[in-house]
Chain A
Amino acid sequence: MNRFVIADPKLCIGCYTCEAACVHVHQDAGLQAYPRLAVTQTAQGTMPVQCRHCEDAPCATVCPVNAITQAEGMIALNESTCIGCKMCALACPFGAIEPHGTSPMSQQLLDIFGAAAAAEPAEPAPPVAGDGLAPLGALLQWSPGVRTVAVKCDLCYFRADGPKCIEVCPTKALHLVDNQSLAASISAKRRQTVAKTSQALSAPAAEGT
């Protein structure tokens, strides 16, 4: 069975520590610096939403380049193979996949340079490449940035300690569901079922005596 991380909205306080931690560890690992879980605040409750690592994953089915595969108990997305077609984001029933890339000038850079730069007189247009006669076509223009690819929870596969979000959540609202924990939960509920059933069946008799 695939493992996955899930949150308990009764415990989640919407503090976004998981999102920040998620960006941090993925950035350090050289992956897209973008949160792979999305704290979602609604009138019905708040919790981070992330990949459920479905056994029959629709994202993997629709991916045209096999960038999404099942491997080692998870649905893995290879950010190098991904072509950014966004089909997986459409197919995902949980809203757990999002296309992301950085714009040529990030908000962070704008805040550092933008205000001052905006106040200076505009620079004359830079000389264009080639024969210098016509501006380059939009397709040929180049600016720095990160290409857009699909981003989703990868269970921090690169970390020995497992998903970072679980570790930093201050209310312990996040936990990992795997074979073991699911089996333990099912077994506990079965025992409860027996207790409740036997209570229900014996109660009228006890009253009658």
Chain B
Amino acid sequence: MSTVKTVCPYCGTGCSMMVHTRDGRISEVTPDKSHPVSQGELCLKGYYGFNHVADRRRLTTPLRREGGAFVPVTWDEALDAIAAKFAAIRRDHGPDAFAMFASARCTNEDNYVAQKFARAVMGTNNVDHCARLCHSSTVAGLAQTLGSGAMTNSIPEIGEVSDLVFIIGSNTAEQHPLIARHVIRAQQRGAKLIVADPRRTEMAEKADLWVRVPPGHNIPLVNGMLHVLVQEGLYDKEFVAQHSVGFDDVARAIEPFSPEAVERMSGIPASQVVQAAHMYGRARAAAILYAMGITQFSHGVGNVVSLSNLAVISGQIGRPGAGVCPLRGQGNVQGACDLGALPNVYPAYLPVTDAAVRARFEQAWGVTLPAKVGLKVTDVPEAIERGDVRALLVFGENPVMTDPDSGALRQQIQKLELLVVMDLFMTETARFADIVLPAACWAEKDGTYTNTERRVQRGRAVVAPPGEARVDWTVFGALASRLGYAGLNYASAQDIWDEVRRVVPAPFGGISYARLDQEPGLSWPCPSEDHPGTPILHKDGHFALPSGKAQLVPVLFDPDTLPDAKAQGFSRAITGHVVEHADAAYPFILNTGRRVYNYHTGTMTRKSPLLEQLAPEERIELNPQDARELGVADGDFVKLTTRRGHTIARAWLTERVAPKNVFSTFHYWEANSNELTNAHALDPISGIPEYKVSAAKVEKSTAADAKAWRERAASEYRLGVERATNVLLAGRLQR
């Protein structure tokens, strides 16, 4: 029996946990009392979501597709085949015919090596990851307004300091339960809570003021709050004057957003806009918490910038308990962004288009680097259609389930000349691969993870990987050697991290493995060994922009048509509208997301019998009023259709959703909401899809139709998966 301290593999809260093993297998997970964020608590996924580690369906050997079936091959065979094909595609079609989806589930070290592989070995900036689909609008928005696209404050401050918490577009209780705990602690101290959300979530239930925002109408609310604050002079004039630029343009842009106008535009009661403005404006230390309910829109950057405007104009930034707090979804999505798994920036957000920056990395990595910004995750499907991208390497992601319009994507990825997937399991994406590589999971490797508050923490190997599964970065090293590049041959995760510290010392120089073994993580920037880290960004109104001041940017919005900024006389403005509206044929609005029991596509959580028992299937949230009209009882099957496709699942009659709104998740291949989402309603700046608004139709279905649908879904998503896995298992038993 042994016990190892590591970081929870699920959400971006970054809880610390003690993993106990018996006979080489994880037997139990217990919380870590000494950790400043989780403080001796965990949620159900942290406690009981570990069964996937020892699951017998883990991939244990490389597989190559021959005909319709996967056959086991050796690592040398697999790597030789991949390297030969990569080299051929690069020779015949240029380096940009290669693209890579990196992984927010993997360590900082994995992601650093992966993006270095794409850039230094393959010679392309076509490297991106699922942050494109969750917080790319945050990275793009906050970087231009505050100078850093990350959470400005630390999580414990919410519980200890904030006297107002404004949660907008975040189902905190379900998606970040241990951050919700800090909000509850704040309430116990007497802090007030505003929640703006289309759904009556658990936090909405506990709020002093809950504003039911129709999906896609956050900007009217936030601009309306700003209108009230500016009209009433209830803002921080000194902070605005000394620490920001662009106030006049924003003041002009919010002029039309009177509370009454907001009510006409969105249906949000004018009185609630005023009340929210007063509560926020009068707070001593107000923290804004937001997540996908802000970012996943065709105007995601506009949403983010409107919140940054609100915080800056109110002077609620750069102080304890204040700030703008994007809650990141994946355990290391912050780190994957920080380490440059993005098509436009190197590690530490240094732009690939800047010649001086490029020269610095060329020197560090000993190669010539491409200057052209690469493809985003959401650009790749069409690039495949055009024949521009011919080889795709995906590790630790399951895009067939998570990316919008799954039906179209499944067709597109089959047009690739080479798809390589490295994962723990034969995922829905891996079944389309030409070569599948078995990866070591979080419990089987060393490395660092960066949580949503920029805290870099040490993850530690607990058990040995199954069979021949390997740690991701070692695979990139082996491929690089075959392609004639020796700069990826590292001895250990620490070896990689020490290179990161040398190459980009400004954020990471002082964060050594030795310190991480002593301290419960360090928040970047931490440039030197004697630096304590930076839990609070933008202290004293200093912003990391050329002017040293925060940039206020006007956000124009009209739900129906995209406003024309030039016609309105704005030289710089962000504009937004909602792409799909309910109509006679599709009278409902579909909102998508997750629920507490499961994590994303369930490749990990659905291997836990406990979690699977609590939430075995999708339940489409339907308002009881609509259910009555449709003649649907709780637990009846409903068919949910959009212009992209349909799913059939059981209905959950609940007032969590407003009438004419439905909510569905992407946890279950049996009824994946990404069959329904729109791949063409993208934010023009960040490329994030509008996952949160699709016009939909709801019809009563039957058990027979549900069975037929499940069989179809099984053939589209699973059949090959289960067959391949079972064939392999049978083979292993014979051996």
Contacts and interface: CB of A to CB of B under 8 A. Distances in A.
Nearest to A117: B722
Interface residues of B, number: 41
B732 to A, nearest CB: 16
A22 B181 CA distance: 20
Contact of A20 (B178, B205, B610): B610
Nearest to B652: A41
Nearest to B713: A115
Interface of B: 41-44, 47-48, 57, 173-174, 177-178, 180-181, 184, 200, 202-203, 205-206, 596-597, 606, 609-614, 616-617, 654-656, 711, 714-715, 718-719, 722-723, 726
Nearest to B616: A107
3 A-B pairs with least C-beta separation: A13-B173, A116-B722, A170-B41
Interface in A28-43: 33, 35, 41, 43
A66 interface: no
Contacts of B41: 168, 170
Contacts of A13: 173, 177, 180-181, 184, 202-203, 206
Given A13-B173, A115-B719, A170-B41, A20 B714 contact: no
Interface string A35-75: 10000010101100000000000000000000000000000
A43 B200 CA distance: 8
20 contacts: A13-B206, A14-B596, A15-B180, A17-B47, A23-B610, A23-B613, A24-B47, A24-B48, A45-B205, A46-B202, A115-B714, A116-B719, A116-B722, A116-B723, A116-B726, A118-B714, A119-B722, A168-B47, A170-B43, A170-B181
A131 to B, nearest CB: 35
Contact of B42 (A12, A43, A168, A171): A168
A111 interface: yes
Nearest to A107: B616
Interface string A106-148: 0110011001101100000000000000000000000000000
How would you classify the secondary structure of chain B's contact residues: helix, strand, loop or mixed? helix
Given A13-B177, A168-B47, 18 more contacts: A14-B596, A16-B597, A17-B42, A17-B43, A19-B44, A20-B48, A23-B614, A24-B47, A43-B655, A108-B609, A111-B616, A115-B719, A115-B722, A116-B723, A170-B42, A170-B43, A170-B177, A170-B178
Given A170-B177, A171-B181, A16 B614 contact: yes
Contact of B174 (A14, A33, A119, A168): A14
A108 B44 contact: no
A21 interface: yes
A43 to B, nearest CB: 5
A119 B610 contact: no
A16 B656 CA distance: 17
Nearest to A109: B609
Contacts of A11: 184
Contacts of A10: 206
A20 B51 CA distance: 14
Contacts of A14: 173-174, 202, 596
Nearest to B183: A13
Nearest to B723: A116
Contacts of A107: 612-613, 616-617
Contacts of A20: 44, 47-48, 610-611, 614
Contacts of A35: 614
A115 B670 CA distance: 10
A43 B658 CA distance: 12
Interface string A76-88: 0000000000000
Given A46-B205, A108-B612, A170-B177, A41 B654 contact: yes
A16 B596 contact: yes
A3 to B, nearest CB: 24
Interface of A: 10-17, 19-21, 23-24, 33, 35, 41, 43, 45-46, 107-108, 111-112, 115-116, 118-119, 168, 170-171
A11 B44 CA distance: 17
B608 to A, nearest CB: 9
Nearest to A169: B41
B194 to A, nearest CB: 17
B173 A24 contact: no
Contacts of A108: 609, 612-613, 616
A170 B597 CA distance: 15
B401 to A, nearest CB: 15
Nearest to B49: A20
Given A115-B718, A170-B41, A170-B42, A33 B173 contact: no
A24 B616 CA distance: 16
A73 B44 CA distance: 29
A177 B456 CA distance: 41
B683 to A, nearest CB: 31
Contacts of A45: 205
Most buried by B among A13, A111, A168: A13
A111 B606 contact: yes
Contacts of B726: 116
Contacts of A33: 613
A194 B178 CA distance: 39
Nearest to A18: B44
A128 to B, nearest CB: 27
A16 B202 CA distance: 12
A24 B610 contact: yes
A198 to B, nearest CB: 26
Contacts of A15: 43-44, 173-174, 177, 180, 596
Contacts of B718: 115
B672 to A, nearest CB: 14
Nearest to A11: B184
Contacts of B57: 112
A118 B205 CA distance: 43
Contacts of B47: 17, 20-21, 24, 168
Given A13-B181, A14-B173, A107-B612, A119 B42 contact: no
B170 to A, nearest CB: 13
A50 to B, nearest CB: 16
Contacts of B611: 20
Nearest to A45: B205
Most buried by A among B597, B610, B616, B718: B610
A28 to B, nearest CB: 10
Contacts of A170: 41-43, 177-178, 181
B411 to A, nearest CB: 21
Contacts of B711: 118
Nearest to B654: A41
A115 B711 CA distance: 8
A136 B183 CA distance: 60
Most buried by B among A12, A33, A118, A171: A171
A40 B241 CA distance: 50
Contacts of B205: 45-46
A11 B41 CA distance: 15
Contacts of B202: 12-14, 41, 46
Contacts of B614: 16, 19-20, 23, 35
Contacts of A119: 714-715, 719, 722-723
A168 B614 CA distance: 17
A11 B206 CA distance: 9
Contacts of A41: 202, 654, 656
B292 to A, nearest CB: 18
B724 to A, nearest CB: 10
B184 A171 contact: yes
A119 B719 CA distance: 8
Contacts of A111: 606, 612, 616
